[in-house]
Amino acid sequence: MRATAGDGAGLWGKRAARPAPLASAARAGTVSAVTSASTLSVPEPGPATARRLLVWYDRHKRAMPWRATSGRTEPYKVWLSEVMLQQTTVAAVGPYFERFTARWPTVEALAGADDAAVMEAWAGLGYYARARNLLKCARAVAEAGGRFPATEAELRALPGIGAYTAAAVAAIAFDEPAPVVDGNVERVVARLVALERPPKAEMARVRGLVEAMVPEGRPGDFAQAMMDLGATICTPRNPLCALCPLNADCRAAAAGNPLDYPRKMPKKARAAWFGTVYAPFRPDGAALFRVRPAKGLLGAMPELFGTPWAPVAPDPAPHAPFAAPWRAAGAISHGFTHAELTLDVMKAEVAAGTEAPAGAYWRLPEEAGLPTLMAKAVRRALAADD
């Protein structure tokens, strides 16, 4: 439900007696729920909340490589940055974004790229299915004439574009009043209304609350302002309520317990997987790699030879690439979304002329475009002799 302009400053002005912000105490983790947040007479956020936010945004918006300094950001850059930012920090994405747009400045250029070149350029960003979907989507857009569709619904129909990315591109690149809800926005909204259940369990309500705030004329700026507020002011562990432009609109701040929100989902135990990898090195420093199957975790990325990953460590011997004086080089661990993987690393020095098995190849590790997991394994192997 969209709020009307009538729930603006007049209503907010009624709350003269609300308590002062308790950010410093909340920061120190000493504040308990001094007042029941849900019973405070702080109205739900609406267009006036958005107006206050935009005043703040016009002064404090973050400079980002993909953000236009004036006017709208082009759809290609919004889409590319949003895909890269899923599960990854702004700081980590910046250099990748710069490299991608220097090499493939348009969606058509990206659509014409070699799969292997894109996967290599993506190496280190993780979640490699996103890189494969990135290419599928670029090719679908290029085939349709090279222009991204302008509505959330049409964007959603493209390969690899989920609800969040469709809303973000529609709002930021085309100013469609789509509710853009990422983790930052979930946290801000949960605190504004003192949401008593985890945002993921209340997504329809969260989206409705955001929709009610989206201002006429500046949906894209509003979406980015909410993200910026969540990233810089309403942070997970250190909300700066005293500096927040939405302090007067916030039930959690009024109750003095912003750190109690958002409520947490009960944690699921992550699976534990085990395996072994083999890192043979030639005298010139090259190591032996093969390419993983296109589907599944780290699909189509280079890897060391090794066992499958399983809840019980598989027998490694049958999975060595060849007979060699293998010795243990320690273990590494790596977290996937649903599992924690521990890999034993075996290493060996082999002769310069050692043949690669069928389908495998020798490559200097720094030139191999390794995903983080395999780069860790190689580093572990190299460090073993230090």
Which residue's CB is nearer to ligand SF4, number 258 or number 365? 258
74 is catalytic: no
Q: Of 44, 82, 98, 186, which is the active-site residue?
A: 82
Torsion sign (Cα): 249, 253, 258, 261:
negative
Per DSSP, 333 falls in state E
Closest CB 249 distance from ligand SF4, rounded Å: 8
DSSP H helix total and E strand total for the chain: 15, 7
Q: What is the C-alpha separation between 380 and 231, in angstroms, rounded? A: 34
Which of 37, 173 has the CB closer to ligand SF4?
37
CB of 207 to ligand SF4, least distance (A): 18
Cβ 294 to ligand SF4, closest distance in Å? 43
- Alpha carbon distance 228, 250 (integer Å): 17
Quick count: other Cβ atoms within 10 Å of Cβ 43? 17
Residue appearing with tokens 């989507």:
137
User: How far is the C-alpha of 227 from the C-alpha of 168, rounded, in Å?
Assistant: 11
Q: Give min distance, CB of 205 to ligand SF4, in A.
A: 17
Percent helix, strand, coil in the chain, to 5, is 45, 10, 45
| Torsions phi, psi for 274 (to 5 deg) | -135, 155
- Interface ranges with ligand SF4 (CB under 6 A): 188, 191-192, 233-234, 239-241, 244, 246-247, 250, 252-253, 258
Residue closer to ligand SF4 by CB (options 202, 344) is 202
Backbone phi and psi for residue 14, each to the nearest 5 degrees, phi listed first: -75, -10
How far apart are alpha carbons 185 and 226 in whole angstroms?
Answer: 6
Closer of 86 and 235 to ligand SF4 (Cβ)? 235
CB of 191 to ligand SF4, least distance (A): 4
d(CA 293, CA 120): 15
Catalytic residues: 82
